[in-house]
A = this chain, B = another copy of it.
Amino acid sequence: MGQCRSANAEDAQEFSDVERAIETLIKNFHQYSVEGGKETLSPSELRDLVTQQLPHLMPSNCGLEEKIGNLGNCNGSKLEFGSFWELIGEAARGLKLDGPVPGS
């Protein structure tokens, strides 16, 4: 797998909008994953991230609390990046983009 190198920040000068968007999501995941290492979100970290960063895409009536609750059922439960990605992917699938996108 060593030959399959992904970009790091040194290569980032010419990142596309899409790549910068992915980078923003990764960066935010790591900004909130403070407790117990940078690779996982605790239930409370996930709640903070969603409340502060995803107020429109993941309203609290959309089953988020249930998901966080399930995550918290086991003591020490942690959300890895892959699960976080799935979670926001579910929200993204529901997003309507019928109108003009702000800032575009």
Contact = CB atoms under 8 A, between A and B. Distances in A.
A97 to B, nearest CB: 6
State the number of copies, please. Answer: 2
Contacts of A56: 6-7, 11-12, 14-15, 19
A58 to B, nearest CB: 8
A28 interface: yes
Nearest to A1: B94
Nearest to A104: B27
B99 A8 contact: yes
Interface stretch (A40-48, A71-79, A82-90): A82-90
A36 interface: no
A93 to B, nearest CB: 6
Interface of A: 3-28, 30, 49, 52-57, 59, 61-63, 81-82, 85-86, 88-89, 91-104
